[in-house]
Amino acid sequence: MLALIGAPAFAGTCSGIDCEVSTDLSAAFRASAAPVEAAPWQGLTKVNPGDFADQGLRPEVLKLALTGYATAHAKGQVKKPILTVIDYSLPSDQRRLWTIDLTTGKVLFHEYVSHGVGSGIKTVTSMSNTDSSHQSNIGLLTTGDTYYGKHGRSLNLHGQEQGFNHNAYSRRIVIHSAAYATAAYVKARGRTGTSHGCPAVTPKIAQKLIDTVKGGSVVFGYFPDSGWLTTSTYLGDAGKQHAQDLPPPPPRTLKRGMQGADVTALQTALAEKGFYSGKADGDFGRGTERAVKAFQRAQGMTADGQVGSGTRGALGL
C-alpha cells in the first residue's frame, strides 16, 4: 500500500501535488547541472579576486586586473606571469601597489607608490594620457627594458590601451626609485611625494622590483573612471559591470567660467529666489557670480561666489 501511495509522484499519469513536486525537483536538478562560466583567467593562474583582501587589495579591483591580464595574455603581450596592481583610488599614505606571482599565488611586493602631481596631491582626482599633464596613467600597461636616467636605473612602460595610456612610453612614464616614496616620508608628511606621472617606489626595493617585473609583465593602474571602464577592450563586460556598480559622482563645485545644464539649473534657482535677472543660458559669468554671492550673503554664508554642497542645499539643488 505504501508503494502505491508513493508511486504517483514518479509516474507519467500522476496528478495533484505529487506532480508539482516532481516538476520542481526536475527543474532544480537542471539548474544545478547548468555549467558555470569559467573566469577568463582560469588556467593561467589559481589566484582568485578575494585572495589578498586582507592586504588591502579589493576583490573588485583584482578581478578587473586579472581580466585585463587574461586579455593581454590572449593577445600574446605577456611574457612573464607577473601582475602588478596599483589602486590609484586609494590615497598615497596607503600601500597601494601589489606585485603578484601568478604561478605561485604569492605577493612579492606590497609598497607605497607615487602618482603624478597633476592627478592630485594625496588623493588622485583625475588621470590623463596627455603630454605635459603630469598625471598618472589608467589601465593596462606592459613592462619593457631598463635604462639609466635622472632617477637612476628605471623601467620603461608601454601603454596598451588606445586613448587612455598609449602615450606612456613617449611621456616617459616609468617605474623608478624616489626618496619621496619611502615609509619615512609618508610617516613625516602623511602622503608620498608626487611625480610627473611616474609610479615611483622606495629606493630600498626599486631595483629588485624592476628586475622582477621587467621584460613583459603586466602593470594595471586602477581608477574608477566610467569612460575607461565601459570602453576598455581589455576589461569587456567586467568593466561595464564595474562601472554600473560605482556610486554616482558627487556634483561638481560650480564657479565662474563653467558651462552646462547644472549652471542653467543654478541660474533658474537663483532667479526664482529673486537674486538673478539674467538669461538662464548655462554660462557661469560675472552676473551669475554676483547673484551667487548675494544669495550667500543673504544666507549668512561665506560669499565666495562658488556653488558647493552648502550653497546647493540652500538653493534646493
In tens, the pLDDT along 31-42 reads 455 566 789 999
Q: Is 238's pLDDT higher than 90?
A: yes
Q: Which pLDDT belongs to residue 289?
A: 95
pLDDT at 170: 97
Q: What is the mean pLDDT of residues 126-137?
A: 94
In this prediction, residue 37 carries a pLDDT of 75
pLDDT at position 28 over 90:
no
Which position has the higher pLDDT, 58 or 36?
58
Average the pLDDT over 94-99 and give the result.
98
Please name the residue that has the C-alpha cell 611621456.
Answer: 171
- Report the chain's mean pLDDT, rounded to a whole number: 90
C-alpha cell of residue 61: 579591483
- Domain boundaries defined on the chain: 2-33, 53-245, 261-315
Buried b vs exposed e over 67-99: b needs ≥16 C-beta within 10 Å? bbbbbbbeeebbebbbbbbbbbebbbeebbbbb
For residue 6, pLDDT over 50 is answered with no
What fold is seen in the domain 261-315? Answer: Muramoyl-pentapeptide Carboxypeptidase; domain 1 (1.10.101)
Question: CATH top-level class for 53-245?
Answer: mainly beta
Rounded to an integer, the average pLDDT of 260-282 is: 92
Residue 10 or residue 299, greater confidence: 299
Kindly state the average pLDDT of the residues 94-112: 98
pLDDT at 194 over 90: yes
Largest CA distance in the chain: 94
| Residue 296: predicted pLDDT | 93
Which pLDDT score is estimated for 33?
53
Confidence of residue 261 (pLDDT cuts 50, 70, 90): confident
CB atoms within 10 A of CB 257: 9
